[in-house]
Structure 1
């Protein structure tokens, strides 16, 4: 499985960022289920989703 970091933003959105692609993905380019290996909070950051809909 590919390793992901869960990022929690000030606006309550959550994103999964790839930490490392697994061997299966590198060979096939098909994503497997995420394996969350860490979590981080960014209280001062906004995810940017809300600003793109203006």
Structure 2
């Protein structure tokens, strides 16, 4: 599931911050997929993992 979400981030359908805020346990797999696909640029330097996001 996390690879699918990561691909949707690449496609522009989902935002990285929203995916990781909702599924913090998938951060490593999402990051690995994005890195493998050469899209490290989509991984922000700091993302809250407690379910909150700054607006």
TM-score by length of 1: 0.19
Rg (Cα) greater in structure: 1
Q: Which has the higher helix share?
A: 2
Q: Which has the higher strand share?
A: 1
